[in-house]
Amino acid sequence: MMAYAIVRGATMVDTETADTAEWQARAKGLLKAELKRRNVTYAQLAERLAAIGVKDTEPNIRNKIARGGFTAVFLLQVMTAIGAREIRLD
């Protein structure tokens, strides 16, 4: 299946890629905001994840969040580890 292209400025953009990048940015922003709200660093997050049985390194966590392309499982693990009980999408 071929994605349609749109023009942004003078550049052709694959809509599938553009849409994915926007969703990844939104996911990244959501997680970073939740961590900031709770004053949790990446090092602390690695410790909290380990406490619930999720082994991951601080650099790996930082990279996952920076990309925004993490799994729903990772999102749920992080939210559980930091004690978040709800997610606001607006």
Q: Which pLDDT tens digit goes with each residue over 44-76?
A: 999 999 999 999 999 999 999 999 999 999 999
The answer to the question of residue 72 being in a domain is yes
**Stronger pLDDT, 16 or 27, i.e. the higher one:** 27
The answer to the question of residue 89 being in a domain is no
The answer to the question of residue 11 being in a domain is yes
The answer to the question of residue 87 being in a domain is no
Q: Are strands 5-8 and 11-14 parallel, antiparallel or unpaired?
A: antiparallel
What pLDDT does 15 receive? 55
Whole-prediction pTM? 0.77
The answer to the question of residue 90 being in a domain is no
Structural domain count of the chain: 1
The answer to the question of residue 86 being in a domain is no
| CA–CA gap between residue 63 and residue 52 (Å, rounded) | 20
What pLDDT does 89 receive? 82
| CA–CA gap between residue 29 and residue 47 (Å, rounded) | 21
Cβ–Cβ under 8 Å, residues 69 and 75: no
| CA–CA gap between residue 13 and residue 21 (Å, rounded) | 11
Range of the domain at 33: 5-81
